[in-house]
């Protein structure tokens, strides 16, 4: 098992990619700290892991608050003795995040606080724990829109994910010789409840899918497997990468119908 004997903290693990990653990491031997602001859904993730024979615990975590993230890291060390993997995955994508003119300032602030500051805080409090464990892996969820323009305007989300990309490179360079790898996971559109809601209009869905060479959204478990690779020793020499899992979107100029 690729994460046998290791402890992984995953933010946003109550649903979507985070939940799929939590269940997969546990199946691969990790003891998983499910860190999420949603207690009911977070505990459901823990129950699913335990029901499958894995080990997990829940830590109520607001990634925008330093003390909350610090407490989640402390929970991991106190419960399992060490922390080896930090998957900073929590993120939001509100429907009123559009272009720079129309996006309300409070929406900008909230998206940046969760998507970018949350990753910063995960690194701020997670890195000392990884160093205490002798090294480890950080996986930060960015997005394909961090490397190219989005088909529909989403200025705060795009800017926040671009920041995650830059932050990840900086961490990767700074800590590589101290045994820590950091990589940015950049999914394309993923079939999660959040995106399903945003693409409920068939016309909006069609506009999005025309840009995807594979003609479909990614499934959360497919992205989770990429996160597992980056977290494991399979990626022992992978550091500071922009790891695209986008079905070919970023490589396409014209997509055939």
Phi–psi pair at 245, nearest 5 degrees: -130, 75
Specify the DSSP element, H or E, that contains 204: helix 202-209
Distance between CA atoms of residues 87 and 92, nearest Å: 16
Could you tell me which residues are beta bridge partners of residue 31?
Answer: 7, 55
Complete edge-to-edge strand list for the sheet that includes strand 7-11: 55-60, 31-36, 7-11, 85-88, 136-141, 180-187, 242-245
Residues 193, 16 contacting (CB under 8 angstroms):
yes
Q: Decide if 253 is catalytic.
A: no
Burial of 195 (0-12, 13-18, 19+ CB in 10 A): middle
Distance between CA atoms of residues 210 and 164, nearest Å: 27
Q: Which residue bears the tokens 């305007």?
A: 153
Which is catalytic among the residues 157, 175, 237, 253? 157
- As annotated, the active-site residues are 157
């Amino acid at each position: 098992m690729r994460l046998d004997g290791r402890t992984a903290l995953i933010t946003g693990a109550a649903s979507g990619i985070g939940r799929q990653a939590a269940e997969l990491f546990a199946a691969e031997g990790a003891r998983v700290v499910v860190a999420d602001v949603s207690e009911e859904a977070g505990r459901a993730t823990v129950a699913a892991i335990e029901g499958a024979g894995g080990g997990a615990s829940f830590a109520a975590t607001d990634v925008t608050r330093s003390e909350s993230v610090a407490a989640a890291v402390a929970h991991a060390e106190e419960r399992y003795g060490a922390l080896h993997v930090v998957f900073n995955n929590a993120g939001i994508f509100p429907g009123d995040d559009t272009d720079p003119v129309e996006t309300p300032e409070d929406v900008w602030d909230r998206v940046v606080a969760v998507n970018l500051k949350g990753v910063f805080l995960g690194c701020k409090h997670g890195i000392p724990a990884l160093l205490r464990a002798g090294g480890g892996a950080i996986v930060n969820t960015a997005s394909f829109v961090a490397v190219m323009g989005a088909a529909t305007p989403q200025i705060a989300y795009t800017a926040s994910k671009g920041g995650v990309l830059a932050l990840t490179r900086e961490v990767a360079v700074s800590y590589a010789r101290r045994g820590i790898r950091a990589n940015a996971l950049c999914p394309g559109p993923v079939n999660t409840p959040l995106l399903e809601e945003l693409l409920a209009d068939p016309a909006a869905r069609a506009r999005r899918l025309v840009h995807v060479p594979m003609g479909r959204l990614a499934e959360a478990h497919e992205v989770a497997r990429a996160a597992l690779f980056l977290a494991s020793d399979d990626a022992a020499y992978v550091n500071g990468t922009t790891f695209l899992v986008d079905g070919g979107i970023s490589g396409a100029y014209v997509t055939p119908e």
